[in-house]
Structures are given as structure tokens and as C-alpha cells.
């Protein structure tokens, strides 16, 4: 959760002149999205989210993300969608940063998902995979398996600082995962960040997803591996096999896994745990004084990694 940038009202007014949305009636920074600044914007035409793209998200990738959201919404998937500027563009500039206005997606994130919500979260992920099937644009996953060795290289020392011996365990994980990584699973657009704060519900029903700023082409079942780490552990870090079963069952209610995908799932989840451990460790090392964002604890994902290393995930 983060709001990084103060926006002058005059700058906002000028930015809004590029949109057919009328004047601003209300504008509040919201604690949503780790990488960007988000604001709830109410205009004479309704409610919207204004997003300023800060670090990490590369400006060159933004048209892909916005086009994907638009595509998904057109396929009937409940995604917020970018509002087009008067000149047709989805992207503008505000406070020196790329900026977009997105429709407001109602729904509540689940801080402690119930079993029906787990099922709905799995179902929503499969729905996303199917809805994006014919999306014509391509984006390589720059945080996919082939990137992890380079990501890990400068972090061995930091890992050992966090917990003695963790650097060596991490190097071993990297090698084991690289050797066994499946190359022939069904691929498509993955969300790549299917965490509870990015999934909205209305009651127990799936109501939509946000934050597509890691979406890319990769193995679809890898996305389910990411989700298993994010959903099937309690706040205390204990594996919840009932939650995992519901998540997978919900997924398969829309898109059944092949035998290969199911067999690969423990390894995919182990790789996903390594990926989030690595980026959290990097963020932890680079945390800034005075920032309004708390880096997420890398130890949470070190524990997931250790769980998978010992073959904990049985589905």
C-alpha cells in the first residue's frame, strides 16, 4: 500500500481536461497497490481510480497492461478498464509520471479468505486465463524462471544476513528448480500477482481482479503456483491444505489441469516462492527512509520456500 506523490489540484485539473469526464468533485489518495500511487477520483461522470506509475513498472510495458485490462473487460471478465483520453490514448502524464484513469471496480478484498472465497479465487484465476486466451499482444515474463539466477546473484549476502545459511539454500533451490523446470506446459497470459489484496469479492462470489502490472506470458499453472503460496497459508505461515484444495478445485471448475500441470504444481509453487522471496529480499535491501510503504517481509517467503523444499505441497 502506497501513496508516493502529492498532486497539485491545478495539475489534476489540467490532466482531467484531456478526458471527457467533467470536473473533479473529490480526490483522495488510497492505500492500494505497492508499486504505484493510486487515488480515488470522483468526477461529474462517476468514480474512477487514477494511477500514477512510479518505479519498477516500465513505461514501455504500460500499453500492454492497459490493453490487457481493456481486453479482459470486453470478454466479460470483471476487470477495471482504462478510460480513453479525448485523443484516444489510454495513457497520459501527470506530475512527471505516466498516468491512467481506470474505472472503479467495486468489491472487497478478503484478509482471511473463507473456503468458499478460496474456491472463488481459483475460479476467478481460471476465468482470467480463459478470457485472455486470444489476447493478441505478447510480453515475456521478465520475472519468470529464467530471470531468477541473475536476480539472486547479488543477494546471497543479504540472504545470509536475514538468516545464516539462507544464501546457500537459495543457491541450491535455484539449481534444483532450473534443472527440473517444466518447459512444455500450456502457456498464456498469467496475472503473476494473484494475491488476496488483488482479488475482490462480493460476499463469497468473485467480483474482479486488479493490479495487472506483472501480467506476462508464462505457463498458466505457474500462476496457480503463485496463488497457492499467496492463498493457502495462514497469516501465521501454516499451510492450509483445505484452502489449497478449494483454490485448485475452483480453478479446475473452469479450466481442468492436465496430468502434467498437476504433477508440476509443487515445483511451480516452489519456483513461485523463490521468485517472491528474491524480489522481497531485493526490496528489503533497497528500502528507503521516509517512504510511505513498508517492504514486505522476505522471511515469510523464506518459510514458504523451506516448506516446498521439504515437499510439503501435496494436492
Does residue 111 bind a copy of itself (CB under 8 A)?
Answer: yes
Beta carbon of residue 38, minimum distance to a copy of itself (angstroms, whole number): 9
Contact call for residues 110 and 201 (beta carbons, < 8 A): yes
| Beta-carbon contacts of residue 294 (< 8 Å; ≥ 6 apart) | none
Return the bridge partners of 200, or none: 208
State how far the Cα of 227 lies from the Cα of 111, in Å rounded to an integer. Answer: 14
CB atoms < 10 A from the CB of 310, how many? Answer: 7
Contact call for residues 103 and 188 (beta carbons, < 8 A): no
Q: Write the DSSP symbol of residue 305.
A: H
For residues 112 and 183, which CB has a smaller minimum distance to a copy of itself in the complex?
A: 112
Does residue 236 bind a copy of itself (CB under 8 A)?
Answer: no
Beta carbon of residue 232, minimum distance to a copy of itself (angstroms, whole number): 18
Q: Which three cell numbers stand for residue 305?
A: 520456500
Q: Write the DSSP symbol of residue 239.
A: B
Does residue 46 bind a copy of itself (CB under 8 A)?
Answer: no
* Chain center to CA of 77: 16
Of 25-33, 217-225, 260-268, 272-280, which part binds a copy of itself (CB under 8 A)?
25-33
Q: Which three cell numbers stand for residue 242?
A: 483445505
Does residue 87 bind a copy of itself (CB under 8 A)?
Answer: no
| Burial of 274: CB neighbours in 10 Å, binned 0-12, 13-18, 19+ | buried
CB atoms < 10 A from the CB of 55, how many? Answer: 10
| Beta-carbon contacts of residue 20 (< 8 Å; ≥ 6 apart) | 45, 86
State how far the Cα of 14 lies from the Cα of 185, in Å rounded to an integer. Answer: 48
Single out the residue of 112, 138, 288, 314 in contact with a copy of itself (rule: CB under 8 A): 112
Of 79-87, 110-118, 254-262, 268-276, which part binds a copy of itself (CB under 8 A)?
110-118
Does residue 204 bind a copy of itself (CB under 8 A)?
Answer: no
Beta carbon of residue 238, minimum distance to a copy of itself (angstroms, whole number): 17
Does residue 230 bind a copy of itself (CB under 8 A)?
Answer: no
Does residue 10 bind a copy of itself (CB under 8 A)?
Answer: yes
Single out the residue of 57, 109, 115, 204 in contact with a copy of itself (rule: CB under 8 A): 109
Of 28-36, 64-72, 139-147, 297-305, which part binds a copy of itself (CB under 8 A)?
28-36
Q: Are strands 199-202 and 205-209 parallel, antiparallel or unpaired?
A: antiparallel
Q: Write the DSSP symbol of residue 250.
A: H
Single out the residue of 6, 87, 136, 165 in contact with a copy of itself (rule: CB under 8 A): 6
Does residue 310 bind a copy of itself (CB under 8 A)?
Answer: no
Question: Going residue by residue from 279 to 298, which x/- string records binding to a copy of itself, judged by CB under 8 A?
Answer: -----------x-xxx----
Single out the residue of 20, 22, 106, 157 in contact with a copy of itself (rule: CB under 8 A): 106
Site for a copy of itself in 253-282 (CB under 8 A): none
- Binding site residues, a copy of itself, CB under 8 A: 1, 3, 6-10, 12, 23-32, 40, 42, 104, 106-112, 200, 202-203, 290, 292-294
Amino acid at each position: 500500500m502506497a501513496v508516493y506523490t502529492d498532486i497539485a489540484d491545478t495539475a489534476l485539473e489540467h490532466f482531467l481536461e484531456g478526458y471527457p469526464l467533467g470536473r473533479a468533485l473529490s480526490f483522495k489518495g488510497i492505500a492500494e497497490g505497492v508499486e504505484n500511487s493510486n487515488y480515488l477520483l470522483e468526477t461529474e461522470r462517476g468514480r474512477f481510480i487514477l494511477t500514477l506509475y512510479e518505479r519498477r513498472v516500465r513505461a514501455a510495458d504500460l500499453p500492454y497492461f492497459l490493453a490487457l485490462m481493456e481486453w479482459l473487460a470486453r470478454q466479460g471478465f470483471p476487470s477495471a478498464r482504462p478510460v480513453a483520453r479525448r485523443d484516444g490514448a489510454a495513457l497520459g502524464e501527470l506530475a512527471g509520471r505516466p498516468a491512467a484513469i481506470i474505472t472503479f471496480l467495486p468489491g472487497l478484498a478478503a484478509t482471511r479468505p473463507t473456503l468458499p472465497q478460496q474456491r472463488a479465487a481459483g475460479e476467478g484465476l481460471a476465468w482470467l486465463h480463459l478470457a485472455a486466451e486470444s489476447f493478441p499482444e505478447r510480453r515475456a515474463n521478465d520475472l519468470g524462471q529464467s530471470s531468477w539466477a541473475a536476480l539472486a546473484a547479488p543477494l546471497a549476502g543479504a540472504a545470509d544476513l536475514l538468516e545464516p545459511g539462507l544464501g546457500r539454500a537459495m543457491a541450491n533451490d535455484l539449481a534444483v528448480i532450473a534443472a527440473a523446470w517444466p518447459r512444455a506446459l500450456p502457456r498464456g497470459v498469467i496475472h503473476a500477482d494473484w494475491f488476496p489484496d488483488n482479488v475482490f469479492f462480493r460476499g463469497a462470489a468473485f467480483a474482479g481482479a486488479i493490479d495487472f502490472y506483472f501480467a506476462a506470458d508464462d505457463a498458466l499453472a505457474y500462476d496457480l503456483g503463485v496463488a497457492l503460496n499467496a492463498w493457502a497459508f495462514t497469516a501465521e505461515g501454516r499451510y492450509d491444505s483445505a484452502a489449497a484444495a478449494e483454490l485448485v478445485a475452483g480453478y479446475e471448475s473452469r479450466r481442468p489441469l492436465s496430468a502434467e500441470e498437476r504433477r508440476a504444481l509443487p515445483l511451480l509453487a516452489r519456483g513461485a516462492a523463490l521468485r517472491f522471496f528474491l524480489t522481497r529480499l531485493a526490496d528489503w535491501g533497497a528500502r528507503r527512509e521516509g517512504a510511505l510503504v513498508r517492504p514486505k517481509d522476505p522471511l515469510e517467503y523464506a518459510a514458504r520456500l523451506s516448506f516446498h523444499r521439504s515437499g510439503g505441497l501435496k494436492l
